Structure 1
Amino acid sequence: MHDNNQQRADVARMVASTVEGEVPASQSKTFRAAFADLLQGARQRELWFMLGIQDIKQRYRRSVLGPFWITIATGVMAAALGLLYSMLFQIPTAQFLPHVTVGLIMWNFISGAIKEGSTVFIENEGLIKQLPAPLSVHVYRLVWRQTLFLAHNLIIWVLLIIIFPRHLGWEFLLIIPGLALLLINGVWVAMFFGIVATRFRDIAPLLEALTQLLFYVTPIVWMTDTLENQGGAVSERAKLAQLNPLYHYMEVVRAPMIGQPVEAYHWWIVIGCTLAGIGLAALAMRQWRFRVSYWV
């Protein structure tokens, strides 16, 4: 009903009598239209909810274990890297393995939002041209699918807490706002890079390479504490990790899950980056949202 009223209003505006030479102002390139797209997409949650589940079913069709293959692959990778680097850095396995495992789990979500987000509109070309739905539906579908993968991988974290028990105090509740911020960032990252990469097709392979590089410069298979404890020049270089925004995103989610405190400045940096990212995505939507259907 809301969409029909909006269409009638648009038609009335276009056919209304105007002063000679006056052209009705377009409402497509406004922030109001951009945020309206996000709200309308959120209201159609049943659509992207079912599409996200269908994506997983299609990917693991005729598979016995289905999406749990992702859990197995992540668990094997975490165990291999955790055991190897714990011996190389001489860190107790009970301390290092949870650090690596939770880092990999969160990294899978972050990298998925970046890499798949850059092709989200290209891969949904048919639906965009045939289905009269807000552009944000496809972004919500992607983030929902990555959330389901994240939920499957959290089984590994539960097993680690059982094998290596640790005290999880009230700070464990910080995982709720941490994951919420991660999901919000997944939306703006997929929306922004999806629009830009649809226009400039070289962006997607470039992001693929940069994401791989970010994996090595983000404290996932290494710890900043280990480098800082060495002192000297190595300790100073370890502070460069603070310049990596993904390090702070990791900390606000990983630290509560492994029973470690989170310093306040991590939260402020993540919140600041989130607000800046939302503004950037809103600007991209205002300028180019209506052109995506022509670019795909």
Structure 2
Amino acid sequence: MSAVANDGGAAGRTVPPPPPTSDSRTFGRGIQDLVEGFRTSELWLHLGWTDIKQRYKRSVLGPLWITIATGVTAVAMGILYGELFHQDIKVFLPYVLLGFIFWGFIETSVLDGSVVFSTNEGLIKQLPAPISVHVYRVVWRSLIIFAHNIVIYAIVFAVFPQPIDWSALLVIPAIALFAVNATWATIVFGILSTRFRDIGQLLTTAVRLVFFMTPIIWSAQTLDAVGSEGSSRMKLVELNPMFHYLEISRGPLLGQHVEFYHWGIVLGCTALGCAAALVVMRNYRARVAYWV
């Protein structure tokens, strides 16, 4: 309703109502975007699978190239570094292989997630859908690649059986945590990289560096065999969060006991990452369409 104001007895004039307050920059709208995006699962499931098919279009083996490439690299690295470090190949090869498989999930989520919005400019501007659709698309695509690669472990396990028991089921919550972390990483790095394109290049360099700093092609247990100096080096290794992510996922499949503090650190990192993702969604979600 409009209000009527009197100016010294003059004829009343119409005063326009105040403009409505926008709620685009609220945590509620950010959470709503995530919920609505997840509900449109048919869309991001289709887009993620289409991405895999397009990548290997007109290829005879198709997505099997994912498995072949990972398997050849992991086996070659496992044999080479096993000889260099004088490791038992029956133990070291599955260790390296699982490291490659789970690291591949992390690397794909971070690097693909950092460019997910900038590479889908047309779809974002033309398709009236929550931006979280593209986030779930990246996570789903990473899970598909992971499912292809885990087949290699089944083959290696048949050749070199590991002493696993019921605790191997802990890999299920570990993979769930990987998916949650891939979600917040895609939101944070994807949105920020859309605004500042240099972040994508920095992430590529950082991921390569962290790969060599993480016990993937080398074993952290070898540090315990060099006395007090090895103990101090082990403390440096534990400062790397990726070490704990690999421990909770690789350990159960190798029949190793995983200390609870590894889970605690991963859960803490997950909570911090989700909080950062909510802040980024609150402040910058509505600007993505203008930045791409």
CA distance in 1: counterparts of 2:291 and 2:2, whole angstroms: 33
Are 1:108 and 2:91 counterparts? Answer: no
Superposition pairs for residues 247-286 of structure 1, below 5 Å? Answer: 247-286=243-282
Are 1:55 and 2:51 counterparts? Answer: yes
Deviation, 1:21, is 6.3
Letter in 2 for 1:230: V
Are 1:292 and 2:291 counterparts? Answer: no
Deviation, 1:27, is 0.9
| 2:9 aligned residue | none
Gaps of 5+ in 1: 1-15
Gaps of 5+ in 2: 4-14
CA distance in 2: counterparts of 1:98 and 1:239, whole angstroms: 24
Deviation, 1:228, is 1.6
- CA deviations 1:175-234 (Å, max 9, x no partner) are 110000000000100111000000001000010000000000011011111012111323
Letter in 2 for 1:203: I
8 Å contact 1:227–1:234 — kept in the other structure? Answer: yes
Within the candidate set 213, 220, 223, 1:217 is matched to 213
CA distance in 1: counterparts of 2:216 and 2:288, whole angstroms: 35
| 1:120 aligned residue | 116
| 1:8 aligned residue | none
8 Å contact 2:82–2:93 — kept in the other structure? Answer: yes
Give the 3-state SS of the residue equivalent to 1:124 in structure 2: helix
Give the 3-state SS of the residue equivalent to 2:96 in structure 1: helix
The alignment's TM-score, normalised by the length of structure 2, stands at: 0.94
Deviation, 1:25, is 1.8
CA distance in 2: counterparts of 1:25 and 1:253, whole angstroms: 46
CA distance in 2: counterparts of 1:263 and 1:70, whole angstroms: 32
8 Å contact 2:2–2:17 — kept in the other structure? Answer: no
Give the 3-state SS of the residue equivalent to 1:108 in structure 2: helix
CA distance in 2: counterparts of 1:234 and 1:179, whole angstroms: 30
Are 1:93 and 2:93 counterparts? Answer: no
8 Å contact 2:102–2:146 — kept in the other structure? Answer: yes
Change (3 A) 1:66 1:17: farther
Give the 3-state SS of the residue equivalent to 1:27 in structure 2: coil
Deviation, 1:20, is 5.7
CA distance in 2: counterparts of 1:227 and 1:25, whole angstroms: 59
Superposition pairs for residues 40-189 of structure 1, below 5 Å? Answer: 40-189=36-185
CA distance in 1: counterparts of 2:199 and 2:252, whole angstroms: 34
CA distance in 2: counterparts of 1:51 and 1:185, whole angstroms: 20
8 Å contact 1:228–1:236 — kept in the other structure? Answer: no
CA distance in 2: counterparts of 1:239 and 1:208, whole angstroms: 26
Q: Across the two proteins, how many residue pairs are aligned to each other?
A: 281
How much identity, in percent, do the aligned residues show?
52
Letter in 1 for 2:20: P
Deviation, 1:258, is 1.4
CA distance in 2: counterparts of 1:258 and 1:23, whole angstroms: 62
Change (3 A) 1:17 1:294: farther
| 2:10 aligned residue | none
CA distance in 1: counterparts of 2:239 and 2:252, whole angstroms: 22
| 1:28 aligned residue | 24
CA distance in 1: counterparts of 2:272 and 2:67, whole angstroms: 33
| 1:3 aligned residue | none
CA distance in 1: counterparts of 2:154 and 2:255, whole angstroms: 13
Across the aligned residues of Structure 1 and Structure 2, the Cα RMSD in angstroms comes to 1.3
The alignment's TM-score, normalised by the length of structure 1, stands at: 0.92
CA distance in 2: counterparts of 1:63 and 1:99, whole angstroms: 31
